[in-house]
Chain A
Amino acid sequence: MNIQTQKIEDIRKRYDHEWLLIAVDQMNEATSTPLTGRLLAHNPDPLEIHKVAMRHDGFLATIYSNDWPEDLAACFYDQIST
């Protein structure tokens, strides 16, 4: 199947609360940001995306379709115990 390359932001807008697996065609190397690519898979479960990713070589990106939820606060840390 021949999948057309598209802007990453245009792909994101088509999905709601899903993980997207994208074959990256064009990057902004200065910011490490994918600009265009081809959608290979989409799924709410990131592990389903991973199964597809393992079958593909090349430069892929895993991106969430939505911005960070406004009602989701976060508190992360990892501290090493020696």
Chain B
Amino acid sequence: MTKFPLDLASQVILVNVTLTGPVRLHNIYLILDTGATFTMISPEILLRIGLDPTKSEKRRTICTASGIEYVPFLTVPSIKAIGAERKNIEVCAHTLPPNIPARGLLGLNFLRHFNIPLNFLDNHIGTTCKEIN
């Protein structure tokens, strides 16, 4: 099991995430969110790695904390986070409020493929990279 520090003082769990797109790589902070059905990434980050949200043919209605929105969905070739990698993963292009120091959410469509125990009492996240399909 790979272990990552868990900052108990922080209001959320922030994780480093490397996105591999058709043309570029980009590393950002996402909020680990087991309440999010899908991984959400800011449109400008998707644009930089070579995925244009305005050209996405797939759109869905999502319910967010701020209301109901109709947003584009795109497939990211690779997402690496907390010692795990998922290829060809669908994400929604949406922006968090500007005062949030993260560029999106790492949601269940990534998390559910791995064993990721949140060991709050021991201050670490563990990741078992054995992928559960």
Give A24-82 interface residues, CB cut-off 8 Å to B. 24, 27, 30-34, 45-47, 50, 53-54, 57-64, 66-70, 72-82
Q: Does B36 contact A (CB under 8 A)?
A: yes
Kindly state the separation between the CA atoms of A66 and B100 in the bound complex, as whole angstroms: 11
Given A77-B35, A78-B37, A81-B62, verify A68-B47 contact (CB < 8 Å). Answer: no
Contact flag A32-B16 (CB < 8 Å), given A72-B99, A77-B64, A78-B37 = yes
Flag whether B65 is at the interface (Cβ < 8 A): yes
Q: Is B92 close to A, CB under 8 A?
A: yes
Interface residues on B, range: 35 or more
Pick from A62, A67, A73: contact of B28, CB below 8 A: A62
Q: How far is the CA of A53 from the CA of B28 in the complex (A)?
A: 13
B116 at interface (Cβ–Cβ under 8 A)? no
0 or 1 for each of B20-43: is its CB under 8 Å from A? (1 = yes): 000011111101010111101010
Partner of B2 from A30, A34, A50, A60 at Cβ < 8 Å: A30
- Categorize the interface residue count of chain A: 35 or more
Cα of A80 to Cα of B62 in the assembled complex, Å: 5
Residues of A within 8 A of B (CB): 24, 27, 30-34, 45-47, 50, 53-54, 57-64, 66-70, 72-82
B interface residues (Cβ-Cβ under 8 A, vs A): 2, 4, 9-12, 14-18, 24-29, 31, 33, 35-38, 40, 42, 44-45, 47-48, 60-65, 68, 80-83, 92, 94, 96, 98-103, 105, 107
With A60-B48, A79-B63 already in contact, 13 other A-B pairs whose C-beta atoms are closer than 8 Å: A30-B83, A33-B16, A50-B45, A50-B48, A53-B26, A53-B44, A61-B26, A62-B26, A78-B37, A78-B94, A78-B105, A80-B37, A80-B38
